[in-house]
Amino acid sequence: MGWPAWLEPMSNTVYFKRPPESVVNRYGLAPDHDARLGGALSHIVVMQHVTQKRLQTFLDDLAAAAK
């Protein structure tokens, strides 16, 4: 997809470049910042109740924002 993302080993938290506000607001993403990873970030915590369909919808929205 080409969206910068980082995952710590043994963690279910995924950090990624902060998407546009429309995506941030739709998914209630928390803002984060780390200069080592390029500045403005958001993150998600992937848990057992998150369905593949919901995750795919999120990824589709990220891909659309990348265009």
Please check the confidence at residue 66 and state whether its pLDDT lies above 90.
Answer: no
Contact 57, 26 (CB under 8 A): no
Q: What is the CATH number of domain 5-66?
A: 3.30.70
Q: How many CA atoms, within 13 angstroms, populate the side-chain half-sphere of residue 38?
A: 10
pLDDT tens for 22-41 read 999 999 998 999 998 889 99
Helix (H, G, I), strand (E, B) or coil at 5: strand
For the sheet with 39-45, list strands across it: 5-7, 13-17, 39-45, 30-34
| Interatomic CA distance for residues 63 and 67, integer angstroms | 7
Q: Kindly report the pTM of this predicted structure.
A: 0.82
Helix (H, G, I), strand (E, B) or coil at 13: strand
